Structure 1
Amino acid sequence: MSKKRKRDLEASEANAEATADTKPQKSKKDKSKSKERNDELQRILEKSEARFASLANATDTDVIVNEEAEASDENMDVDQAEPSKDAATSSEDKPASKKDKKKKKNDEDVSTGHLSILSKFDKYRAEVLSSAPKIVVEENVPEEPLQGLHPLPQPAQAPVQKVDPNSVLPSYLAQPTTVPTSQRPPFASFNLPELLLDRLNKLEFTNTFPVQSALLPLLLPDSRLPPSTPRSDLLVSAATGSGKTLSYLLPILASLLNRVVPHTYALIIVPTHELATQVQRTAHTLASGTSLKVSTAIGTRPFEVEKDHIIANDVGSTGADILIATPGRLVEHIRNNPQFTLRHLQWLVVDEADRLLSQSFQDWVEIIGDELQKPFPTNGARAGFDLASLGVRIPNCAADTVRKVILSATMTRDVGKLAGLKLRRPQLVAVDDIGHREVSMDESGDDDEGPEKEDRGLRELNSIPSTLEEHYYPVHNATQKPLILAKLLSDSNTTSGILIFTKSNESASRLARLLELLFAKKLGKKRKGSSKKDWNIAVSTSDKRKKEISANTAKFKASTIDILISTDLMARGVDLPNAQLVINYDSPRSEKDYIHRVGRTARAGNNGITWSLVEDSEARWWWTGIGKVRRGNGDGVKKEVAPELNAEALQIYEGALEKLGKEVRGA
């Protein structure tokens, strides 16, 4: 190796060593400057992203201003960054090697790359802003409140429609089975025992009434059906005096003639003592010659005495096979008489059902229903095979076997009231005097419209017998009503069998005394066809003793009493065969009460007359209510003219009033 080459190698090694000594120091400085520049660029990027997010809600003008400001800020950042670079460069050694120049070039390339990335970001941000929907801001328009911080607005609710509970009726109520009044086959055509036919012949009952001809086939046993076949429960709407009592007593007696052990097999519920006594009398007459016992639980006897007459649970007992009861007394026996039971009950009859269901006597419907639901005692395991597997229906309680018959002259079609009876496959039978036509569920008998329109066809089935003659007398001066009535009676040909209804006990007593005083003065013309000089007048009101009421009823039936004045106490269920004239001295409270009042006459196909004395203040209600009741004849109500009152009649009336006042004051 030559000396020159040797020197070059040594110089090269020396330079390499020097370079190796200085290289780590330059690398650390370069890294520090690169990190500082990267931090500056990261800060710029974060500012740009924050401004980009805020620009989404800005207007176009704001976008332009912000972009210019941002560009200015970026230029400032770059300008501020450049001096720091120069400062760093100046702090370096002035002489720079080739490697220093190369490193500086690399740093410039890195800076150029970052700026390129930033420009791409600005370009992308501009494209997003241009595609975003432009927001137009109007002056003096309040900002729309933010959504999501409160409940969203809901659409207005539809008005609540009032639902008529009677707009849709069950099929058995909407389409009753109507029976024409001309249908009167003989009793012998029905499957009645010979014993009962003999009793009917002795009572001179040959032909049935329409309600009897309709119910007997439905209630008497049907030989074509197995004995265990359940039968439908019946609702019966028929006018008062149409023979409803006989229509259910005959099937009950026919089913119990062969009974061996006395039990309470039939329960008949009625609203009043008078009706209970009347039903008992009819049942005794028909059951004469049999071993069947009929009794009542109506509160006319002490409770302990009554217990011995109605308990029929042991062999040889003297209790009742057929029990007739009022609701209150019946509930008392169920609660306080542990030996009384309805476990063997086969018949449940509710007469005058509209009144009993409207007035809840000690919740009798629920109490009787619970009593019928009590399970039969098992008496140990049943021996033999399972009868149910053979298709034989085995009852678990009395409710599974009892037959229910609900009757009224004004049968309700209120589903809510009937629901408590728990009827089984019910059927409604209506005896309509208007003729054999269907009773429409929309028929109300009133053409008036408005909120005060009363529903007469949907809720109740009612009608007035075709043999009833109705008269309407307007009374313009209510203070003279007793005198008008006395004048009408004096001029009338009716001499007895007159039943007058008032609104209260006091009104009945006052009217009775005034009529006695007026008749004593021989008001009006001489009574035709009568040699009697005086009228016999009696009063039956709720403040009288029961014995007195019963005595007056018996005397009225015997025509010993000519005029009987009463409240609605005598309006329901009382059979008064000799009642010829019914007078509504005070207007009834409803059409239903009117029907029951006038139903005391024109019974069993006989003729009858009714007068209604109506004050001017009651005329509108009377004609829109009672005047629209369905009637069996085409005559309707005859409007009459009240008799004229002369000076003599008025003077007699003033004297009667003065005398009555002295009697009341005890003078």
Structure 2
Amino acid sequence: MKFEDYRIAPEIKKSLERLEFKRPTDIQFKAIPPILKGEDILGIAQTGTGKTAAFAIPILHLINERKKGTRKKGVKCVVMAPTHELAIQIADVFNQIGKNTRVRTMALYGGTEQDPQKEKLSDGVDIIVATPGRLFDLRSQGFIRLEEATLLVLDEADHMLDLGFYQDIKDLIGYLPKKRQTLFFSATINEKIKKLAYSLVKNPIRIQISPKDPISKNITHAVTFLEMDDKRFFLERAIQENEDRKMLVFVRTKVRAERVKAAMERVNIDTLTIHSDKDQKERSGVMQAFKSGVCKVLIATDISARGIDIPDVEVVINYDLPDVPENYVHRIGRTGRGREKGIAFSFCSPNEKEYLEAIEEYIGHEIDELIIDKSLYQQTMDLSNENESVTMKQIRKEIEEVAQLKKRKKRKSKKKK
């Protein structure tokens, strides 16, 4: 089945054609028809399967049709997202697909000035893609009306629960109409998520796209064993050997992100970092620079592993293995998106082997090992620009010491005379 065969607005079909969306993915094929019929959905699908378009396409059609028969103001759909970056990305998908419709979408998130958001809300918005804090803040100030919000989407619900948004989600329900359509999407399913999901949806259509291997077939991934202090040399080499490719490097903490960036600066490699210590303006600037290709290497914590669709990421490197097994899937899922191919490498130090075992248990198979023989290992260390710069420093130091020694000898000889 092709998108042109769906009973959706011609304006949406026009946008899908422009975006080269020809055939639906599995989650889109199974989710779009029941959403168009007004059914509640509980959707479980791995990253990179096209979940956003699976709900954006039918929601845009439903709201576009409703706007033809009513002039009621107020938000008609709320999409809840766990992070600023994901909210921005989802809103962008809505705006691209809904470009030719009368539906207006905006992203709503904290860490930035409220006034521009208030101004846009006052002009009238149909769909809000929001993180919880700013949504509740502006609603309490009277800038958001939710009485007409008969569509609710919870995206990356498992990540929202991990971030402690359970009560925020429950609070939101109190502001929405009791008669509504709820779409619940998550990459994983467990008892806590089931409890939340079934408290929100009514007789849902359950859609689960979960192959035995949660890793996309488009991704080739491997692990190599390195000493912790040697990782920077191999990252340097990986960047040099893939200098024309966009690369995403994952570390466990924001402190590590800055340290790895500093290590790359010492060998004259430009990188960017993104983590929770950066304000929204910085994060947006970093994402734009990376997406546009101004900078080819982004060092990130797991804030960027969930749901973020960054175009043309060809290589993912787990500089640190994640301590949460499912984050491995989300991290390497940043490459090999859609029909593209991707490569992922993981650096595993001796004290990270327990993380590797947990990951392999989670994905159901061992990860292929990339074996580095001793000569290649030593060559990587020896050829590092950091080692070269250290050598040059040592040479300069020795030259300076010789010069100072000569000066002291001259002074001594003068004194004797």
Q: Give the SS at the match of 2:200.
A: coil
Distance 1:415 1:245 in 2: 19
Q: Give the SS at the match of 1:604.
A: coil
* Correspondence for 2:225 among 445, 458, 474: 474
The answer as to whether partners of 2:12 and 2:101 remain within 8 angstroms in 1 is no
2:43 corresponds to which residue?
Answer: 236
- Alignment of 1:256 with 2:63, yes or no, is yes
Distance 2:29 2:215 in 1: 20
Q: Which has the higher contact order (CA 8 A, sep 6+)?
A: 2
* Correspondence for 1:320 among 117, 125, 135: 125
- Code of the aligned partner of 1:485: L
Identify the structure with the greater strand proportion: 2
* Correspondence for 1:342 among 137, 146, 155: 146
**Deviations 1:432-463 (Å, cap 9, x if unpaired)?**
344xxxxxxxxxxxxxxxxxxxxxxxxxxx81
**Deviations 1:163-206 (Å, cap 9, x if unpaired)?**
xxxxxxxxxxxxxxxxxxxxxx2112222122211121122211
**Deviations 1:492-523 (Å, cap 9, x if unpaired)?**
356321110111222112212222323x5xxx
TM-score, normalised to structure 2, is 0.84
5+ residue gaps, structure 2: 394-417
The CA deviation at 1:287 is 2.0
Instruction: Report matched runs for 1:610-649 at 5 Å.
Output: 610-623=344-357, 625-630=358-363, 637-642=367-372, 643-646=376-379, 648-649=382-383
Closer/same/farther in 2, CA of residues 253 and 465 from structure 1, 3 Å limit: same
2:52 corresponds to which residue?
Answer: 245
Distance 2:288 2:391 in 1: 31
**Deviations 1:397-445 (Å, cap 9, x if unpaired)?**
x222x111111223444366425742211232111344xxxxxxxxxxx
Q: Give the SS at the match of 2:348.
A: strand
- Code of the aligned partner of 2:56: L
2:103 corresponds to which residue?
Answer: 292
Instruction: Report matched runs for 1:272-311 at 5 Å.
Output: 272-310=83-121
Q: Give the SS at the match of 2:354.
A: helix
* Correspondence for 2:136 among 327, 331, 350: 331
Q: How many positions carry a matched residue from both structures?
A: 385
5+ residue gaps, structure 1: 1-184, 222-230, 312-317, 373-397, 435-461, 521-534, 660-667
Q: Give the SS at the match of 1:582.
A: strand
The answer as to whether partners of 2:153 and 2:184 remain within 8 angstroms in 1 is yes
- Code of the aligned partner of 2:64: L
Distance 1:537 1:203 in 2: 30
The answer as to whether partners of 1:269 and 1:350 remain within 8 angstroms in 2 is yes
2:397 corresponds to which residue?
Answer: none
- Code of the aligned partner of 1:617: N
Distance 1:404 1:242 in 2: 20
Closer/same/farther in 2, CA of residues 621 and 274 from structure 1, 3 Å limit: closer
- Alignment of 1:588 with 2:310, yes or no, is no
The CA deviation at 1:362 is 8.1
Distance 2:204 2:386 in 1: 59
The CA deviation at 1:550 is 2.1
Q: Give the SS at the match of 1:629.
A: helix
The answer as to whether partners of 1:504 and 1:567 remain within 8 angstroms in 2 is yes
* Correspondence for 2:216 among 445, 465, 470: 465
Distance 1:559 1:358 in 2: 31
* Correspondence for 1:369 among 173, 176, 193: 173
1:496 corresponds to which residue?
Answer: 245
The answer as to whether partners of 2:325 and 2:355 remain within 8 angstroms in 1 is no
The answer as to whether partners of 1:331 and 1:367 remain within 8 angstroms in 2 is no
Q: Give the SS at the match of 1:399.
A: coil
The answer as to whether partners of 1:483 and 1:653 remain within 8 angstroms in 2 is no
* Correspondence for 1:405 among 151, 160, 183: 183
The CA deviation at 1:305 is 4.6
- Identical aligned pairs, as a percentage? 26
Distance 2:224 2:390 in 1: 23
**Deviations 1:380-412 (Å, cap 9, x if unpaired)?**
xxxxxxxxxxxxxxxxxx222x11111122344
Closer/same/farther in 2, CA of residues 553 and 650 from structure 1, 3 Å limit: closer
Indicate the RMSD between aligned Cα atoms, in angstroms: 2.7
Range 321-330 or range 403-412, more displaced: 403-412
- Alignment of 1:538 with 2:266, yes or no, is no
The answer as to whether partners of 1:469 and 1:608 remain within 8 angstroms in 2 is yes
- Code of the aligned partner of 2:181: R
Closer/same/farther in 2, CA of residues 656 and 607 from structure 1, 3 Å limit: farther
- Alignment of 1:576 with 2:387, yes or no, is no
Distance 1:419 1:517 in 2: 49
- Code of the aligned partner of 1:432: S
TM-score, normalised to structure 1, is 0.54
The CA deviation at 1:543 is 2.3
Range 597-606 or range 509-518, more displaced: 509-518
